[in-house]
Structure 1
């Protein structure tokens, strides 16, 4: 193959150099790169896989993931783009007979075969020199992979990969003794966003392993600034505007988090409750109504947007505003409730069935200073002007603290077959997820809401967004849409 020159940042270069030249163990070796948004870890994965292809002809390994269909959608577009622009690798064209690799089917006769051919090519990426990457899903049946023999294992978004699955896939790295002299043979390489709390904490162990045995293990943590030269001007500053401070500190600055010991949502599990793979039906349905739960405050007004599918409650988005905007047509200053309505309407501009049920904080029944309408009514007015049918269902029933705590515990624990269960989008709902993870509990089973006080944390990281989840789950428990006419209320003390 012709000699190529690829451009990488310093952290990517150090990672690739380490796995190629420093990990000289003849045993299985491990290397990991953990980085946030725009840090370049996907580029490193693409470059590593292309290098392995050149170094390990006729090798076959696995790309380990929870669900194959999701990995195909999320992974391969980025890999193919990098392979094409930096490695001159193109998909095989049957009409011309040209191309370097084949996706998801048996390769043509002109391609070499790996030393150990797969029985089924459906989930394989096959290169002309016989190098094969097979996508292997572990969520549905991890034990089915115990009989494999692999030359390597690759993994993306490793924070979603369970520790018990890891034991299975690492035990498969054992194929073709003596056939390769490259350090890339028998390599386990993982790439991932930073974990929130304890989920994916096994990745940090590779940092300790590197200190103990640097010839067998390598670990790199990258932050967005490490890749700044390859990002658009203002990209990092833009992330600061788009993300909550907690998200920014974790995914841009690389801060490591651990869950608090006495949490209000003690049954919340990031891995389980943000796992939307293989759920029944469609995750987001543009032809079904939306359900919204709001929390109205002078300095921070927020909501979570949901859809339900029977017992499954799907957390679609967490949205908030921190200051009022001006009407885009008249320039007149708007209220916070109206500003939030514009944000919701813009987020769902392409939604088909424009019907939304609005519940949440009873304070939304109050009127803003100088206003003649309640905050719920102001919110509805903006949405209706944009073509939405709005059904207001504010809460007006006080559930006892312990009763409320037990309801949330029961729903999140998923130990009753008749109860609702929730799944939340790991990106679009992340603000609410972070709020829930770091909400402390008091001795009387109420939330510690000190984070909402002046001088505390940024309000995006306070308890507001978690409150909207509570309001919604209580509303659904009490009947949801069928309860709209009577309504009920909840307040926190």
Structure 2
């Protein structure tokens, strides 16, 4: 391969220099990079693997992940783009004989083979010089990897990898003693977005180890601004409009969150409840009605959107508005609930079955100042103007606090085989996941809703969005659409 020159930001350069020249060539070592949106960590991973390919011909290592199918979908396009655009490494084409790697199948006969061939090529990326990356999933059966011998391990989105799995993974890095004279041999390199709360905290243990033993450990934290020169103009400022304040501080500014308070949602497991792979039916079906749950406040109005598949509740999107807009057709000033309704219509403009059930906050049955309709009626009217059929079904039942707590705990713990269970999209539903994660509990099993009254707390980080999830789960437990269409009313909040 002819010599190429690639451009990196300072943090990427520090990372690559450390793993290439700063660590012990004769020992297993660990290098990690944690960074937020647009920080360049994926490019650094792509560059590292391309360099490994050159340094370790005929080596075989694993790309460790929870679920292989998900990794194939999310990982491969970015790696291929990085290899193509920065390294001129392209996929092999049998018709022309050009290209350097094949995906998910046994390589051509004129490709070199690794010193230790995999038993199954269906999860492998194989290069012409015998360098092989094998995707290994740990969620279903981590113990099945105990017999492996690997020259290296690479991991993306390490915050989703459980600390218990590391004991198995690290013991596999032992293949081909003395065969390679490269610092990249026997390297475990992980890359990740920053964790929320305790999930993925094991990554920061390596930061402390790197301070004590830099020959065996290296840790780089990179923030979006570190990569600003390679980003489109206005990219960082635009993220303020797309992310909640908490997401922006964590994923753009690199802020580390303090410990999670004793949570109202004690059974919430971010990894489990945001895992949307392998679920029955389509995750999102444009030909099925939507169901929504709203929370209406003067300065913050929000809604979470769902579809169901049997007992499975699919939390698809968490939407909110913080200031009213003008009617897109007439220019007339809108209320907050109307603004939210137009946002829902815009987000789901491609949805084919324009039928939506709307439940949620009791206060939505009140009228906005100066309005002749309730907030629910205004919400429905705005959606109907965009071609939607709206079924209003707000809960009116004042469920006892302890009963509400027990219901949410039962649904999230999934110990009752006859109860609903909840999965929430890891990015589209993230504002609600964050809200639930940081909702404290009082001694009487009520939510500590003090965050809704603190001017210092951005309201998208308060308890509002978690409330919409509660409202929806209670509505489902009482029959959902079937119950609402019966015409029987109950009092809620």
After TM superposition, the score normalised by the length of structure 1 is 0.98
User: Which whole-Å deviations, capped at 9, do the CAs of 1:308-343 have from their partners, x for residues lacking one?
Assistant: 111111110110001111011110001111100011
Query: Higher mean Cα deviation, 185-194 or 443-452?
Result: 443-452
Cα pair 1:25 1:216 within 8 Å, conserved: no
Distance in 2 (CA, whole Å) between partners of 1:38 and 1:311 is 37
The reply on whether 1:88 has 2:77 as its aligned counterpart is: no
What are the superposed Cα offsets for residues 208-257 of structure 1, whole Å, 9 maximum, x if unpaired? Answer: 11012110000001111110111111111111111111111111111112
Q: For residue 492 of structure 2, what is the aligned residue in structure 1?
A: 490
Unaligned runs of 5+ in 1: none
Deviation by residue 1:148-167 (Cα, 9 ceiling, x = unmatched)? 11100010001111112121
Map of 1:123 onto structure 2: 123
Quote the Cα distance in structure 2 between the aligned partners of 1:457 and 1:162. 31
Q: How many corresponding residue pairs? A: 491
Deviation at 1:454, TM superposition (A): 5.0
> Does 1:370 find its partner at 2:360?
no
Matches within 5 A, 1:9-158: 9-158=9-158
Q: Where do 4+ consecutive residues of structure 1 move more than 4 Å? A: none
Kindly tell me: are residues 410 and 271 of structure 1, through their superposed partners in 2, closer, same or farther at Cα, counting changes over 3 Å?
same
How far apart, in 1, do the equivalents of 2:289 and 2:138 lie? Answer: 34
Query: Residue 122 of structure 2 aligns to a residue in which SS?
Result: coil
CA distance in 1, matches of 2:234, 2:313: 37
Local SS of the residue matching 1:122:
helix
Matches within 5 A, 1:279-318: 279-318=279-318
CA distance in 1, matches of 2:357, 2:26: 61
Q: What are the Cα deviations for residues 70-92 of structure 1, in whole angstroms up to 9, with x where unaligned?
A: 11110011111110111010110
Partner of 1:271: 271
Moved more, 456-465 or 261-270: 261-270
Aligned-partner Cα distance in 1 for 2:175–2:429: 42
- Aligned pairs for 1:47-446 (under 5 A) are 47-446=47-446
TM-score normalized by structure 2?
A: 0.98
Q: CA RMSD for the aligned pairs? A: 1.1
Residue 490 of structure 1: CA displacement?
2.7
- What is the CA distance between 1:25 and its match in structure 2? 4.4
Q: Contact 2:261/2:439 (CA < 8 Å) preserved in 1?
A: no
Q: Quote the Cα distance in structure 1 between the aligned partners of 2:254 and 2:279.
A: 31
Give the unaligned 5+ runs of structure 2.
none
Distance in 2 (CA, whole Å) between partners of 1:443 and 1:177 is: 58
Contact 2:261 2:438 in 1 (8 A): no
- My pick for the range that moved more, 372-381 or 47-56, is 372-381
- Hey, what does 2:448 align to over in structure 1? 448
Change (3 A) 1:323 1:172: same
The change in CA–CA distance for 1:487 and 1:258 in structure 2 (over 3 A counts) is farther
Alignment partner of 1:89: what SS?
coil
Cα gap change, 1:10/1:395 in structure 2, threshold over 3 Å: closer, same or farther? same
